[in-house]
Amino acid sequence: MQHLLDQMNPQQREGVLQVDGPVLLLAGAGSGKTRVITHRIAYLIQERGVAADSILAVTFTNKAAKEMGERVDKLIGHTSLAKPLIATFHSLCVRILRRDIEAMRVNGIGLTKSFAIYDENDQQAVVKQALKRLGIDDKQLKPRVALGRISWAKNHMIDPQEYFLASANPLEEKIAHIFESYKKELFKNNALDFDDLLLEAVRLLKSSSEVRERYNRRYQYLLIDEYQDTNRPQYELMKLLAGTRGNVCVVGDEDQSIYSWRGADIKNILEFEKDFPETKVIRLEQNYRSTQNILEAAGAVVKNNVQRKGKELFTTREGGSMIGYYEAPDGENEALFIADRIQTYLREAGQKEDAPRCAVLYRTNSQSRLVEEALRRYQIQYHMVGGFSFYERAEVKDLLSYLKLVQNPRDSIALGRVVNSPARGIGKTTMETLERMALSTGLSTWDAIERAIQEQLLPARALTALAGFRRLILDARAMLGSEFAETLAADAAGEEAVDESVEFVGQEENASTEDENVDTSFDTSFNFGFDFGPSEEISTIAAENSVGSDSDVDTSFDAAAFNPFAASTQKHETRVSEIKADVVAKVETSTRVDGFRAPGDPATLPELIKFLNDRSGYIKTLETEGTPEAFSRIENLKELANAAQDAQERGETLATFLDHAALVSDVDQYNADARVTMMTLHAAKGLEFPLVFLCGMEEGLFPHSRTLQDPSGLEEERRLCYVGMTRAMDTLILTRARYRRRYGSDMPEASIASRFLEEVPSRLVEDLGSPSDTRSAWNSGREYGYGGGNKKWGSRRGNDDGYGSEKHYNYEDEDQSAIGPSSSSAAKPKSGLQFGIKANTGA
Ligand code: ATP
Ligand code: MG
């Protein structure tokens, strides 16, 4: 084992060897913090004989988790069956909740294991509904703003009631009501958003000692990377998981804290020592990643922050190449310069290194478009992290919504998305009626549909269309076998009831709610004394929702007013067994008819997808459309089926497949094999590349305009700059455009050099041939006119750096075939979207 510790300096070694009790490792970028974590895991397993699966490591992205797993395997020289659990906070919480969430159900009320995970689009849809319900104009209060506040509250563990009590103005009060309505709606839909995953896991571990102790026994050693970016719920989760043993090792860097907007809190570092008094604090000072020039430049920038303890890093990699700077006349030329540099780099480095890698980093996703276009022009393969991801495409989201609905019919958002997609005659009026019905009864939309069919509450045509849709989902559920057929029992009866008007007790979720005088629309921990205040608008809402302010019981599920499922239990039981038999028969018929598999075998994921694609008429509609766009959509649907095939081979179920799709965050699309990676600065955390470009170094862009008036916001931007610069191992190039087109303006506007540029000592900087005579100052652009003939920049520059040949900089002369493979016929590249997607999906 000696070799494992040989590769570490004394402080790092300490971090590895100190396995019992709490350890706090605080150190600058590239000092080997992540390396300490991997080595510590390897050491625990190999030297201390700790069972691998009693180790839990938490990282910031799935990608980082995967890499960490691979490194550990390499270190211990074999892949054992038992493995440490290396996860992100979110995936860890999903895992815990999928297993144990029902421990929080009281009297049959609460979320079930098949809960849906809502992404931002789903969340927006819910907020829009809430706005409508509360009569708030969505121009007056943008759903995104409301959502931002809700998320902020959740990340600070503030619930709607507390939010309301703390609100200082009518706007905040409105948000409190939206928040409350949002929370109810998600509960009703058996859904959680990303923030909820953490909150609910914390609530679960707090409320059930049985569950908590089980996890404490299970995970004896806890490790957390990028600790500076944990927020309150993550901190609480860590504490709950650490248990009384406190074998927890957290590593981080205050200077790289870049998620305060997500509630990351520096207090978590300070409080760690308080909560774990025995904490061993370790500091690392040697940077192994970057050259001295890079390190010095980055250090000079971050030094300007006031809120920092201050620490020095040293490296043995003296000197190194200078920090490159290029000041392009405009954004297009900035991008072309980068592409040109990359081309040269790949050509030259290709002969020396086996895998030259570089990254283009930017502050906001929208900056990627120009860089993408330039890379395509140069026929350079790239990998774009984030932006418009595969899983966000409309057709992919539609199909996923079908799958979500199959998994959890109560998911009203998924239902709303696909109920009439493709068009099947279920119009807006029908849906509005159903939603009103759902609202007034506290039912999910799915249950409202059940009821409408059962009691024939809508015009016949609408009912037929709804019944067809419902049948589609039920048939799909039936394909998944007995587990789904079981819960189907109640559902199937609804259909029977249309013909026979049979009463029954149904829907496991709601079955017992009528009698129990408990909160059915909210999680059980929420003390629902929410006083809506005197405003008339609000009392109407309160009346609509039947919220009694005299007790802490929410009666919004008003059993007296509406009770579609009331019936004697005995009758119910006989009925259910009849229905079960019927369902089994139906499963067999439907499979035989569709011919996918042998009767009795649950369908595979790809089979299920094929079934939905075909039976929903989705593919057919696209085929009929016949446009190239429609065909590319079909391609995407097939690609999703491929993803499902892979998932199937990994042994995933529908639930885990959907979890995966929900958790593929921007950052996780990072592919370490790609030579050129484009991503935001936030996504680059923890990564390293021999060559790094940091583009758009302009005031208002970076630092972002939002932060210019806010000292602590500015400091966070500066930390982000530090993160970006310290990703570079050998070469760092900073670029900016003197003129940039801004949203809403016809003409490009003059920019001012980023203050972060000014903070880099000029002795470390080399101008890479900015096309200007006034190079001494960063802000030479101010004297520079964006006159006529700007597209000819390349020919006018006349510099000798070899980057300005006209061929590259003059669009008109460009050979169009050089543009990405899929758009050779297009006159101008539209966007790198298609190409980017291809890269993402590994094509
Ligand atoms: P960041 O703050 O950016 O997350 P970090 O502190 O986690 O950085 P690592 O990514 O663990 O740093 O290490 C940076 C680089 O230095 C890696 O390539 C790593 O392999 C290398 N490295 C770290 N420690 C040593 C060491 N003792 N000997 C050789 N290489 C090392
Ligand atoms: Mg790291």
Dihedral pair phi/psi, residue 747, rounded to 5°? -100, 145
Q: Are the C-beta atoms of residues 633 and 395 closer than 8 Å to each other?
A: yes
What spacing in Å lies between the alpha carbon of 727 and ligand 2's midpoint?
Answer: 10
* Sequence-separated (6 or more) residues with CB below 8 Å from residue 160: 153, 176, 177, 179, 180, 183, 526, 530
Give per-residue pLDDT as tens, 93-125.
Answer: 999 999 999 999 998 899 999 999 998 888 988
Helix (H) or strand (E) holding 329: strand 323-330
Same domain, 213 and 354: no
Output the pLDDT for position 352. Answer: 67
Q: Which amino acid is at 200?
A: E
Query: Among 25, 31, 290, which is best to mutate for testing ligand 1, by the most ligand atoms less than 8 A from CB?
Result: 31
- Of the listed ligands, the closest to the CA of 40 is 1
Output the pLDDT for position 312. Answer: 82
Cα 201 from chain centroid (whole Å):
17
Ligand 1 atom 24: the closest Cα is on which residue? 32
Query: Is residue 183 situated within a structural domain?
Result: no
CA distance 37 to 59: 10
- Of the listed ligands, the closest to the CA of 287 is 1
The answer to whether 280 is annotated as binding is no
Same domain, 404 and 329: no
User: Residue 834: pLDDT above 50?
Assistant: no
Instruction: Dump the DSSP string for 276-304.
Output: STTPEEEEE-B--SS-HHHHHHHHHHHTT
What spacing in Å lies between the alpha carbon of 155 and ligand 1's midpoint?
Answer: 30
Ligand 1 atom 26: the closest Cα is on which residue? 8
What is the average per-residue pLDDT within 785-803? 29
For residue 822, list its beta bridge partners.
Answer: none
Ligand 1 neighbourhood includes 719 CB (under 6 angstroms) = no
Ligand 1 neighbourhood includes 261 CB (under 6 angstroms) = no
For residue 739, list its beta bridge partners.
Answer: 330, 750
Query: Among 35, 254, 681, which is best to mutate for testing ligand 1, by the most ligand atoms less than 8 A from CB?
Result: 35
- Within 10 A of 596 (CB to CB), how many other CB atoms are there? 17
Q: Among all chains, which residue has been given the structure tokens 């766009």? A: 629
Instruction: Look up residue 608 and give its two tokens.
Output: 């299920």
What is the average per-residue pLDDT within 581-609? 58
Same domain, 340 and 245: no
What spacing in Å lies between the alpha carbon of 286 and ligand 1's midpoint?
Answer: 9
Output the pLDDT for position 534. Answer: 29
- Range list of H helices, 353-459: 368-377, 394-407, 412-418, 428-441, 445-454
For residue 700, list its beta bridge partners.
Answer: 704
What spacing in Å lies between the alpha carbon of 289 and ligand 1's midpoint?
Answer: 6
Give per-residue pLDDT as tens, 420-477.
Answer: 999 899 988 999 999 999 988 888 999 999 999 999 999 999 999 999 999 999 999 9
Q: Identify the CA nearest to 206 among candidates 90, 107, 96.
A: 96
The answer to whether 769 is annotated as binding is no
Residues labelled as active-site residues? 33-34, 225-226, 256, 727
* Sequence-separated (6 or more) residues with CB below 8 Å from residue 772: 327, 780, 781, 784
Cα 97 from chain centroid (whole Å):
18
* Sequence-separated (6 or more) residues with CB below 8 Å from residue 584: 482, 485
CA distance 746 to 748: 7
Same domain, 516 and 381: no
Same domain, 714 and 594: no
What spacing in Å lies between the alpha carbon of 72 and ligand 1's midpoint?
Answer: 14
Same domain, 382 and 397: no
Within 13 Å and on the Cβ side, how many CA atoms surround 268? Answer: 28
Give per-residue pLDDT as tens, 152-165.
Answer: 999 999 999 999 99
8 Cα nearest atom in ligand 1: 27
Three-state SS for 392? Answer: helix
Ligand 1 neighbourhood includes 724 CB (under 6 angstroms) = no
CA distance 188 to 531: 21
Cα-trace Rg, the chain: 29
* Sequence-separated (6 or more) residues with CB below 8 Å from residue 114: 190, 407, 408, 655
Same domain, 676 and 715: yes
Query: Is residue 561 situated within a structural domain?
Result: no
Check if the interface score ipTM surpasses 0.95. yes
Q: Measured between alpha carbons, how far is residue 482 from residues 486, 557, 572, 594, 611 in Å?
A: 6, 30, 20, 18, 18
Q: What is the DSSP letter of 35?
A: H
Region of residue 600 (phi > 0: left; psi between -120 and 50: alpha; otherwise: beta): left
Q: Are the C-beta atoms of residues 699 and 753 closer than 8 Å to each other?
A: yes
- Range list of H helices, 156-315: 160-166, 170-188, 194-207, 209-218, 232-242, 267-275, 292-302
pLDDT grade for 500, boundaries at 50, 70 and 90: very low
Last residue of a domain, one of 284, 304, 336: 284
User: Residue 568: pLDDT above 70?
Assistant: no
Query: Among 288, 313, 314, 730, which is best to mutate for testing ligand 1, by the most ligand atoms less than 8 A from CB?
Result: 288
Instruction: Look up residue 443 and give its two tokens.
Output: 């039912």
Angle at 482 between CA 477 and CA 486, to 5 degrees: 80
What spacing in Å lies between the alpha carbon of 698 and ligand 2's midpoint?
Answer: 27
Ligand 1 neighbourhood includes 39 CB (under 6 angstroms) = no
Region of residue 154 (phi > 0: left; psi between -120 and 50: alpha; otherwise: beta): alpha
**Residues, the chain:** 843
Query: Is residue 556 situated within a structural domain?
Result: no
Output the pLDDT for position 545. Answer: 31
What is the average per-residue pLDDT within 754-761? 96
Output the pLDDT for position 266. Answer: 77
Same domain, 515 and 640: yes
Last residue of a domain, one of 604, 626, 651: 651
Give per-residue pLDDT as tens, 558-567.
Answer: 222 322 233 3
Q: Are the C-beta atoms of residues 193 and 118 closer than 8 Å to each other?
A: yes
Query: Is residue 379 situated within a structural domain?
Result: yes
Ligand 1 neighbourhood includes 288 CB (under 6 angstroms) = yes
Ligand 1 neighbourhood includes 7 CB (under 6 angstroms) = yes
Last residue of a domain, one of 626, 651, 676: 651
Query: Among 4, 12, 289, 692, which is best to mutate for testing ligand 1, by the most ligand atoms less than 8 A from CB?
Result: 289
What is the average per-residue pLDDT within 12-36? 95
Same domain, 645 and 687: no
Cα 257 from chain centroid (whole Å):
19
Domain ranges, residue 732: 320-389+667-840
Helix (H) or strand (E) holding 645: helix 628-649
Give per-residue pLDDT as tens, 602-648.
Answer: 889 989 999 999 999 999 988 888 776 777 788 788 878 878 887 88
CA distance 210 to 208: 5
CA distance 832 to 369: 7
Output the pLDDT for position 786. Answer: 32
The answer to whether 521 is annotated as binding is no
286 Cα nearest atom in ligand 1: 24
The answer to whether 33 is annotated as binding is yes
CA distance 569 to 504: 8
Three-state SS for 144? Answer: helix
User: Residue 740: pLDDT above 80?
Assistant: yes
CA distance 299 to 695: 19
Ligand 1 neighbourhood includes 470 CB (under 6 angstroms) = no
Same domain, 399 and 362: no
Ligand 1 atom 30: the closest Cα is on which residue? 288
Q: Measured between alpha carbons, how far is residue 655 from residues 94, 116, 400, 403, 510 in Å?
A: 11, 9, 11, 9, 22
Output the pLDDT for position 789. Answer: 28
Ligand 1 neighbourhood includes 727 CB (under 6 angstroms) = no
The answer to whether 135 is annotated as binding is no
Ligand 1 neighbourhood includes 11 CB (under 6 angstroms) = no
Same domain, 697 and 820: yes
Ligand 1 neighbourhood includes 12 CB (under 6 angstroms) = yes
Domain of 618, CATH number, reads: 1.10.486.10
Helix (H) or strand (E) holding 641: helix 628-649
Query: Is residue 122 situated within a structural domain?
Result: no
pLDDT grade for 353, boundaries at 50, 70 and 90: low
Ligand 1 neighbourhood includes 34 CB (under 6 angstroms) = yes
What spacing in Å lies between the alpha carbon of 823 and ligand 2's midpoint?
Answer: 39
Query: Is residue 536 situated within a structural domain?
Result: no
What spacing in Å lies between the alpha carbon of 227 and ligand 2's midpoint?
Answer: 10
Same domain, 270 and 358: no
Query: Is residue 118 situated within a structural domain?
Result: no
Ligand 1 neighbourhood includes 289 CB (under 6 angstroms) = yes
What spacing in Å lies between the alpha carbon of 686 and ligand 2's midpoint?
Answer: 4
- Range list of H helices, 650-765: 654-663, 711-725, 755-759
Give per-residue pLDDT as tens, 65-89.
Answer: 888 988 898 888 866 678 899 999 9
Q: Report every protein residue that has its C-beta within 5 angstroms of ion ligand 2.
A: 33-34, 686
* pTM for the model: 0.71
Domain of 355, CATH number, reads: 3.40.50.300
Give per-residue pLDDT as tens, 222-241.
Answer: 999 999 999 999 999 999 99
CA distance 828 to 812: 10
Q: Which range is least confidently modeled, 245-259, 501-515, 669-683, 695-709?
A: 501-515
Query: Is residue 534 situated within a structural domain?
Result: no
Mean model confidence pLDDT for the chain: 77
Three-state SS for 43? Answer: helix
Report the domain count for the chain: 3
Ligand 1 atom 13: the closest Cα is on which residue? 32
